[in-house]
Structure 1
Amino acid sequence: MHTVVRVAGPDLILRPSPVAMVWYEPGRPHEALAAPGVHLSAGEALVEVELATVCGSDVHTVRGDRPAPAPLVLGHEQVGRVVAVGEGAVRADGSLLELGDRVVWSVAVSCGECDRCRRGLSQKCRSLAKYGHERVHRGWELSGGFATHVQLKAGTAVVRVSEELPALVAAPSSCATATAVAALDAAAAHVPLAGAPLLVTGGGMIGLSVAAIAREAGAEVVVSDPDASRRVLARRFGVRAVDPAATPGDGEHLDTVLADLAANGRPELLVAIEASGAAPAVRTAIAALGVGGVAVLVGSVSPGTEVRLDPETVVRRLVTVTGVHNYTPGQLVRAVAFLERSWRSTPLDELVGTTHSLDEIDLALAEAATGEHVRVGVAPGRRPHH
């Protein structure tokens, strides 16, 4: 536990000092940065991190697959407890944030006033800042989840979570679960989910979260993933699973499963959520749709292979193709609500396969890069292995 000592007004000193793990460039180990003093402005708060999880975008950054400002404190999926509150700090529902609140928070910090915020696109705010994505600078050293503490800025959507919700389930809500809600909202704007055949390409954290939420909404869900263990996980969520490498006629081939759905009164695939970022999966998601279907692209967040598109087939099938990146505060609220009511009945806690100490952040990232686990955890209070 850390002791918070208020020096003067909003100036805090913590003992022991908070530590953030700083990334500089691909191939270079993280370095610890101590931040003994924190200045909390109006609307801000300081949270002690209970658990963070490694998102795929963290892996892409450390591998050099995508540009990122450095030095950088990575991490944007986490759960923690409020240990200091600035004047006027509020939760996403407008109520006052309180000491001791166990919380998750949005990846985006938004102004709430620009044209994009007013249009409901706060995740693309004109003055956007993002946890785990900003260059470390004086005054905001604690800017990412791979740290003992995170300084929450005014304009962050903060959502309280119950003491019963496992940290392994709560932490990914700040990215994967809320993004899954956003993806399904984008689909539901065109096709009612209840009873609709729905394909998810990619059985990672977002894909499996989409599957779980869509199943609760009444969709007929099919998850496509080349990894047999991911297909096993998908089935444990109560949905069908297919192998994109299966041959026609095989029971795990998409056409076979779609034919079975058609035989049971579901004649066309109407929703496809692409959560892998793989070009073949993007092509499958668009090509498999029936008349009036919608493809929501979520996984393509790093530069990759371009996908050829036949516009005639899109036009003739009345297909909608849309993209989703991050989410709104309300979608984070709904993501937490889903987790609170469903974690006991679904294997959500098993998606974080292993957890490392903060000192082992490079090991955690390397393990996450193997794809063996859907998520890898980082717990600041955990002792490192020796």
Structure 2
Amino acid sequence: MHTVVRVGDLDVIVKPSPVAMVWYEPGRPHEALAAPGVRLAPGEALVEVELATVCGSDVHTVSGHRSAPAPLVLGHEQVGRVVAVGDGAVRADGTRLALGDRVVWSVTVSCGDCDRCRRGFTQKCRVLAKYGHERVHRGWELSGGFATHVQLRAGTATVRVSESLPAAIAAPASCATATAVAALDAAAAKVDLDGALVLVTGAGMIGLSVAAMAVEAGAEVVVADPDASRRAFARRLGAVTADPLARGTSPERLDSVLAGFAERGLPEVLVAIEASGTAAAVRTVLDVVGVGGVAVLVGSVSPGSEVSLDPETVVRRLATVTGVHNYTAGQLEQAVAFLERSWQSLPFDELVGVTHPLAELDLALEEAATGLHVRVGVAPGRRPI
């Protein structure tokens, strides 16, 4: 247990000291950094982390496939409890943040005043900061989820979650689940999801979340992924599956699956959401979306192969191609609402295949890199075995 003591209006002393795991470069183990004192400016809060989950972008960073400033405290999917609150700290809905709130929070910190924020693109704020993505500096050592505590800055969208919501389901809301909401919002701006044929490429956390939400919205959903276990999980969510590597007469060939829907009166994919980041899948969604349909690119967040686009086919199909990166405060609220109403009927807790203590973060990242689990958990309160 940690003891929190307020010293004056701004300073917070935590005993034992909060610890953040600092990453320096590929191949170098994380190092623990103690931060005994925290100064909370107006609008800020200190949260004790209950559980964090390893996102694919964390793996890309530590493997050197994605550039990042170092030293760095990674981690941006987590759930925790508020243990200290600065003056004026509020939740995403505008109500006052309170001690003891169990919360998730946005990956981004936005100013709310720049031209992009005023246009609704708060996740692309001119002075944006991001949890798990910023170089460690004095005054914000607790800036990522792979720590015992995180210091929430003013401008963070913070959403309360119920005590009953399992931590393994709540933690990914801060990235994967909210991004899935954003992807479907982008699609729904062009196509009514109810009754539409939706293709999702990639059955990671985002793709599976998209599939579950689209099924709830009344869509017919096809999930394409080469991993048989992930396809099996997608079927438990109510989706039909396809194997992008299937050849010959396999019934799981994507064209065979789509032909089956055509026979049932759904001749065109009207929404295609790409959540894997592979060039082949990007080409698939660009090729398959039908007349008046929309292709939403979500997974391409690391450098990869370029993909050619035939503009004539886009024009003649009246197709829309759009990108989604991160999400707004309202979309995080929608993500939490979805999880709160559906977690008892959807097995999302199974997607966190194994959980390690914070001291074994490097092992957790290695395990996440194998792809055996959709998510790997990191629990600061768990002792090493």
Query: Which category of TM-score, normalised to the shorter sequence, fits these structures?
Result: over 0.9
User: CA offset at residue 249 of structure 1?
Assistant: 3.5
Q: Distance in 1 between matches of 2:5 and 2:12?
A: 6
Q: 2:48 maps to which residue?
A: 48
1:303 is aligned with what amino acid? P
> How far does the alpha carbon of each residue in 1:131-187 deviate from its partner, in whole angstroms, 9 at most, with x for none?
000000000000000000000000000000000000000000000000000000000
Q: 1:312 maps to which residue?
A: 312
Q: Distance in 2 between matches of 1:360 and 1:20?
A: 13
- What does 1:220-369 correspond to in 2, within 5 Å? 220-369=220-369
Decide which moves more: 155-164 or 262-271. 262-271
User: CA offset at residue 257 of structure 1?
Assistant: 1.2
Q: Would you say the 8 A contact 1:52–1:171 is kept in 2?
A: yes
Q: Would you say the 8 A contact 1:66–1:302 is kept in 2?
A: yes
2:90 is aligned with what amino acid? V
Q: Would you say the 8 A contact 1:248–1:255 is kept in 2?
A: no
Q: Does 1:171 align with 2:171?
A: yes
Q: Distance in 2 between matches of 1:5 and 1:244?
A: 55
Q: Distance in 2 between matches of 1:294 and 1:336?
A: 25
User: CA offset at residue 198 of structure 1?
Assistant: 0.3
2:237 is aligned with what amino acid? F
2:348 is aligned with what amino acid? L
Q: Distance in 1 between matches of 2:248 and 2:103?
A: 47
Q: Does 1:142 align with 2:142?
A: yes
Q: 2:70 maps to which residue?
A: 70
Q: Distance in 2 between matches of 1:369 and 1:211?
A: 23
User: CA offset at residue 23 of structure 1?
Assistant: 0.1
Q: 2:34 maps to which residue?
A: 34
Q: Does 1:374 align with 2:360?
A: no
- Secondary structure in 2 matching 1:291: strand
User: CA offset at residue 6 of structure 1?
Assistant: 1.4
1:311 is aligned with what amino acid? P
TM-score normalised to structure 1 length = 0.99
- Secondary structure in 1 matching 2:198: strand
Q: Distance in 2 between matches of 1:162 and 1:201?
A: 31
1:67 is aligned with what amino acid? S
Q: Would you say the 8 A contact 1:248–1:256 is kept in 2?
A: no
User: CA offset at residue 228 of structure 1?
Assistant: 0.8
- Secondary structure in 2 matching 1:150: strand
> How far does the alpha carbon of each residue in 1:329-374 deviate from its partner, in whole angstroms, 9 at most, with x for none?
0000000000000000011111110000000000000000000000
- Secondary structure in 2 matching 1:366: helix
Unaligned runs of 5+ in 1: none
The root-mean-square deviation of aligned C-alpha atoms, in Å, is: 0.6
- Secondary structure in 2 matching 1:313: helix
- Secondary structure in 2 matching 1:159: strand
- Secondary structure in 2 matching 1:199: strand
Q: Would you say the 8 A contact 1:55–1:75 is kept in 2?
A: yes
Q: Distance in 1 between matches of 2:317 and 2:127?
A: 39
Q: 2:84 maps to which residue?
A: 84
Q: Distance in 2 between matches of 1:151 and 1:12?
A: 11
Q: Distance in 2 between matches of 1:256 and 1:218?
A: 22
Q: How many residues align?
A: 385
Q: Distance in 1 between matches of 2:71 and 2:154?
A: 23
1:43 is aligned with what amino acid? G
- Secondary structure in 2 matching 1:211: helix
Identity %: 79
Q: Distance in 2 between matches of 1:63 and 1:267?
A: 42
2:130 is aligned with what amino acid? K
- Secondary structure in 1 matching 2:173: helix
- Secondary structure in 1 matching 2:159: strand
Decide which moves more: 79-88 or 306-315. 306-315
Q: 1:160 maps to which residue?
A: 160
- Secondary structure in 1 matching 2:29: coil
User: CA offset at residue 278 of structure 1?
Assistant: 0.1
> How far does the alpha carbon of each residue in 1:82-111 deviate from its partner, in whole angstroms, 9 at most, with x for none?
000000000000000000000000000000
User: CA offset at residue 238 of structure 1?
Assistant: 1.3
Q: 1:101 maps to which residue?
A: 101
User: CA offset at residue 5 of structure 1?
Assistant: 1.2
User: CA offset at residue 8 of structure 1?
Assistant: 2.0
Q: Distance in 1 between matches of 2:115 and 2:310?
A: 34
User: CA offset at residue 9 of structure 1?
Assistant: 1.7
Q: 2:119 maps to which residue?
A: 119
2:56 is aligned with what amino acid? G
User: CA offset at residue 248 of structure 1?
Assistant: 4.6
Q: 2:21 maps to which residue?
A: 21
Decide which moves more: 199-208 or 7-16. 7-16
2:31 is aligned with what amino acid? E
User: CA offset at residue 236 of structure 1?
Assistant: 1.1
Q: Would you say the 8 A contact 1:55–1:77 is kept in 2?
A: yes
Q: Distance in 1 between matches of 2:196 and 2:12?
A: 53
User: CA offset at residue 231 of structure 1?
Assistant: 0.6
- Secondary structure in 1 matching 2:245: coil
Q: Distance in 2 between matches of 1:155 and 1:248?
A: 53
Q: 1:186 maps to which residue?
A: 186
> How far does the alpha carbon of each residue in 1:200-239 deviate from its partner, in whole angstroms, 9 at most, with x for none?
0000000000000110001100000011111111111111
User: CA offset at residue 274 of structure 1?
Assistant: 0.1
Q: Distance in 2 between matches of 1:60 and 1:249?
A: 36
- Secondary structure in 2 matching 1:315: helix
